[in-house]
Amino acid sequence: MSTDIIEKLDRIEQRLQDQQLPSRGTLNLKEACQYLGISTSCIYKMTSQRRIPFYRPGGKRLYFKREDLDQWMLSNRVEAESDIERRADEYLIKNPIKK
């Protein structure tokens, strides 16, 4: 019973934190971690490998544009099997096999 209450409180706390994310377009490191749902060490690793877009004015603190993070999250789309099959069918229709 007490674990249920703790889990519910954790979910409520997370929702409140999500609502507190600033509506402005620029996020600091902590806000970006919260927005993406990943750890600071993960973001530091991705920025050092230049796998995620970021800004470093003055060479110290990291900042992120929410728009850039959204685009990054939606990059490298993996197609569904049905999409691949449809494209294969379209290709075969346009390029019939010659005997």
CATH number of domain containing 34 = 1.10.10
Rounded to two decimals, the pTM is: 0.61
Residue pLDDT, tens place only, 43-56: 999 999 999 999 99
- How many domains is the chain partitioned into structurally? 1
- Domain with 31, as residue range(s), is 24-76
Residue pLDDT, tens place only, 78-92: 889 998 899 988 988
> What string of H, E and C letters represents the secondary structure of 10-40?
HHHHHHHHHHCCCCCCEEEHHHHHHHHCCCH
35 found inside a domain:
yes
85 found inside a domain:
no
87 found inside a domain:
no
| Token reading at 92 | 């075969």
55 found inside a domain:
yes
Structure letter (DSSP) for residue 78: P
49 found inside a domain:
yes
Residue pLDDT, tens place only, 7-63: 888 887 877 666 656 567 899 999 999 889 999 999 999 999 999 999 999 888 999
